[in-house]
Structure 1
């Protein structure tokens, strides 16, 4: 049975929540899932992405994520949210506005590809 729109949004939400919780064991990655950020491949497989989210230093600095806004267009689930990092400097934190596009086909409801656009900013 094909995955519903809500199930595909839930798959994307699981990934976004794992950015801050560092608990990605239940994120439904397809085995060959890839991730692209700033035109650079930063994810090479579902297992590698899961390990990175669980223990990768590039993710461990993330403190929290805002409630995402989702839209669905065919097999793509788009999410917009902000993330906040843990380190502070003079009471300010590095944050980022994130636009991610997930390829999550209805045929299996798994994340096959992630394309991220990240716009950092300083939050007081």
Structure 2
């Protein structure tokens, strides 16, 4: 029985929420999950991604995320959202427009929604 779209969206949302909460223990990563950010591999396994989200300095600077806009196409869940960071530059806050595509197969052998791959595109911006 295929895993419903809403469950796969919820899996992607758990990852996005963990970006700001820094609590990724419940993110359903497949053991071999990888992440690529602007062409560079930044996640090497589900456990590596979980540790990075929980304790990694590259994520600790994230303050908040906006509500994502999700689209589903086959086994991919695409999320577009913005994030803001704690540091500022010349009195302006630093943010980023994020476009992430998650591979979350509808027919995962585990029988549950698991993230197998994340591809991230990031465009930084400054705001007042």
Residue in 1 that maps onto 2:119: 115
- Which structure 2 residues correspond to residues 3-42 of structure 1 after superposition, within 5 A? 3-42=3-42
Structure 1 moving runs of 4+ over 3 Å: none
Residue 87 (structure 1) shift: 1.2
- Report the secondary structure of 2:19's partner residue: helix
Residue 92 (structure 1) shift: 1.1
- State the TM-score, normalizing by the size of structure 1: 0.97
CA distance in 2 between counterparts of 1:111 and 1:21 reads: 18
Residue 57 (structure 1) shift: 0.1
- Report the secondary structure of 2:86's partner residue: strand
CA distance in 1 between counterparts of 2:41 and 2:89 reads: 30
Structure 1's unaligned 5+ residue stretches are none
- Report the secondary structure of 1:7's partner residue: helix
CA distance in 2 between counterparts of 1:81 and 1:115 reads: 14
Residue 2 (structure 1) shift: 2.6
CA RMSD in angstroms comes to 0.8
Q: What is the aligned length?
A: 124
- State the TM-score, normalizing by the size of structure 2: 0.94
The answer to whether structure 1 residue 106 and structure 2 residue 96 are counterparts is no
Structure 2's unaligned 5+ residue stretches are none
Residue 86 (structure 1) shift: 0.5
CA distance in 1 between counterparts of 2:2 and 2:59 reads: 32
- Which structure 2 residues correspond to residues 78-97 of structure 1 after superposition, within 5 A? 78-97=78-97
